[in-house]
Amino acid sequence: MNKKIALTGIKPTGDPHIGNYFGAIKPALQLAEQYETRYFIADYHALNQTRDPEVLREQIYEIAAAWLACGLDPEHNLIYKQSAVPQTFELSTILLAFTPKGLMNRAHAYKAMVQSNTEQNRDPDDGVNMGLFTYPVLMSADILLFDADVVPVGSDQQQHIEMATDIAEVINRNYNKEVLKVPQGLIHKDTGIIIGLDGRKMSKSYNNTIPIFLPEKKLRKLIMKIVTNSQTIEEPKDPDKCNIFSLFKLFADQQQQNEMRKRYLAGGLGWGHAKQALFEIINETITPFREEYNRLMADKGHIDAILEKGSAQARELAEQKLVMLRKEVGVL
């Protein structure tokens, strides 16, 4: 029996951090246990924000190396570049013919820009390019081209899956058959909010992240900056209200968590001690990732070969789908 297909888009936008790893990378890689997995680097999506070609090229290498270093096995999982599969953009053109403008008007990213412009007394569409406006259609093409059954997304991306579903259903009704498989969003909610250095949600916009591949000394220095309260060493501390322990739990097994919890409650544990314990357990976990990442980034030709092999396989699958679609819509 064939496995269902899970598809994950990976936008090349800088170094991944611990929040990205637990919130997106690790859950997406675990899907390989149950699904036939396909991962693509969404480089044309990144073009809406990144206009420096050298920066974009480097970010593509960085994100590919990051996922490979974190455990993506290209021998058993398909990984490819969006830009290397031209059928995606042909399908996007087909989808645009069936997509109401009103649907695009409701897209969260577009609405947010319009609201911001209105509040600042600017033209509502100031700074809005068509890449941003039609972003949900291109994302729908990414998904629908490969007959994805499920697409893992955060709750903030759920609308894009709903739009892909809406567009697919419009086309299926038009041709009175399932021309496009209707996907489902796979929302991961069990990780919860990953706390950053300042106690807020870990986010690049807050500048409070812990990058996965930091060198050891820089990692320790950054962890020592985690915000704590003014309790003394002697005072017992509540681990469930502590930013350090919140991060520690992500890396520790149950026994390690229990032992650290006892140290918190007993008193005699200073914040410096807690941060050192956090550094040690994070460093132990990510050292193999860091070493593999550095090895890959030192041999970009190897990354190129992996992506080209995957992209060739993706093009073959995509062309099979497009031949069928061209016949259905009447251009072939």
Average pLDDT rounded to a whole number, residues 145-153: 94
Residue 23 pLDDT: 87
CA trace torsion 239, 242, 247, 248 (10° rounding): -30
* Rounded-to-integer distance, Cα 33 and Cα 78, Å: 14
Greatest Cα-to-Cα distance within the chain, rounded to the nearest angstrom: 78
What percentage of the chain reaches a pLDDT higher than 70? 98
Residue 14 pLDDT: 73
Residue 107 pLDDT: 94
User: 3-state class of 328 per DSSP?
Assistant: helix
Residue 192 pLDDT: 67
CA nearest 202: which of 71, 12, 15, 10? 15
Average pLDDT, the chain: 94
Average pLDDT rounded to a whole number, residues 229-246: 94
Is a pLDDT exceeding 70 seen at residue 1? no
E strands present in 155-195: 184-187
E strands present in the chain: 5-10, 36-41, 78-81, 150-153, 184-187
Name the one residue in this structure whose structure tokens are 């093409």: 141
Q: How confident is residue 326, by pLDDT bands cut at 50, 70 and 90?
A: very high
**How many residues are present in the chain?**
332
Residue 189 pLDDT: 63
Strand partners, 211: 17
State the burial class of residue 191 (Cβ atoms within 10 Å of its Cβ: 0-12, 13-18, 19+): middle
Average pLDDT rounded to a whole number, residues 80-102: 97
Residue 155 pLDDT: 73
Q: Which residues contact 277 (CB under 8 A, 6 or more apart)?
A: 248, 260
Residue 190 pLDDT: 53
Residue 94: half-sphere exposure toward Cβ, Cα within 13 Å: 29
Residue 301 pLDDT: 98
Residue 193 pLDDT: 82
